[in-house]
Amino acid sequence: MMKYIVIAPLITSLLFSCGKTSNQPGIKEATRQHRDSAVYETGGLIVKKLSGHVYQHITFLNTQSFGRVPCNGMVVINGNEAIVFDTPADDNGSAELLDYLSAKLNLKVTALIATHFHADCVGGLKEFHKKGIPSYANRLTIRFLNEQNSDNIPQNGFDGELALNVGDKKVYASFSGEGHTRDNVVGYFPDEHIMFGGCLVKEVGAGKGNLEDADTVAWSGTIVKLKAKYPEVKVVIPGHGKTGGVELLDYTEQLFQAANHP
């Protein structure tokens, strides 16, 4: 059983982009939605198969401000290899996910890509490093974590776009502009038109969430650029909440357009 972390309200507000608001599903409902189509589930980890090559991983934190918060990540597989986008919420979750991928799916994880510097993206990074799995992030992400004297710092930085091989296919991480944070990137698997939007992308119906490190003026424009860069996207995984289609991008764009034009 995973040992959950309880963190102070102020720190919690910095970690989660999709904090519970009055127009969002409750935590119980969000958890039920995550369990739909699960191929693996314990008290601390849910894995959903979204396509032939893509899985969604969901882990949880017990927090004083928001209760039990589900956090999403993506796993792209091909042949006997896998690349993970965003770590589980802590090292216990990472250990369980890595064990599932290795023991149950017979996969070798070849890389971890963090989509921004908040703990819901890097909180379980030490377990990946312990197993010799290389980690990647926007150079700004690494800079911000170093400034915080974090224990969870990705090893390899990139600017603009990163392309990595998973078997004989490619996955991408790319920066289109500021939004939830100055460093937020998204993951994309073009073979199946699946995007991991991370906390840059909101589930439909979500509030604006934590804006502590956000650029709300740039946010909607960043989504416009993202849609232009990946016009064939079909499935979008947000950092928190329910996976959907391009309507998540449309909703996020409109949410921050409205915020800029009261």
Kindly report the CATH number assigned to the domain that includes residue 154.
3.60.15.10
How many CA atoms are closer than 13 Å to the CA of 154, on its beta-carbon side? 27
- Is 53 in the active site? no
Q: What is the DSSP string of 29-63?
A: HHHHHHHTTEEEE-SSEEEEE-SSSEEEEEEEEEE
- Is 240 in the active site? yes
- Please check whether residue 93 lies inside any domain of the structure: yes
- Please check whether residue 4 lies inside any domain of the structure: no
Task: Tell me how far apart the terminal alpha carbons of the chain are, to the nearest angstrom.
Answer: 46
- Please check whether residue 25 lies inside any domain of the structure: yes
Say if residue 22's pLDDT is above 50: no
Q: Measure CA 233 to chain center.
A: 17
- Please check whether residue 3 lies inside any domain of the structure: no
Looking at 48, 210, 213, 242, which residue is catalytic? Answer: 210
Three-class SS of residue 173? strand
pTM for this entry: 0.87
Looking at 53, 57, 240, 242, which residue is catalytic? Answer: 240
- Is 199 in the active site? yes
Q: For 207-261, how does the pLDDT look when each residue is reduced to its tens digit (9 = 90+)?
A: 998 899 999 999 999 999 999 999 999 999 999 999 999 999 999 999 999 756 6
Q: For 156-203, how does the pLDDT look when each residue is reduced to its tens digit (9 = 90+)?
A: 999 999 999 999 999 999 999 999 999 999 999 999 999 999 999 999
| Number of domains comprising the chain | 1
Looking at 48, 202, 208, 242, which residue is catalytic? Answer: 202
- Is 129 in the active site? no
- Is 91 in the active site? no
Range of the domain at 190: 9-260
- Is 180 in the active site? yes
- Please check whether residue 134 lies inside any domain of the structure: yes
Looking at 57, 199, 208, 213, which residue is catalytic? Answer: 199
Looking at 48, 57, 118, 208, which residue is catalytic? Answer: 118
Looking at 20, 48, 169, 180, which residue is catalytic? Answer: 180
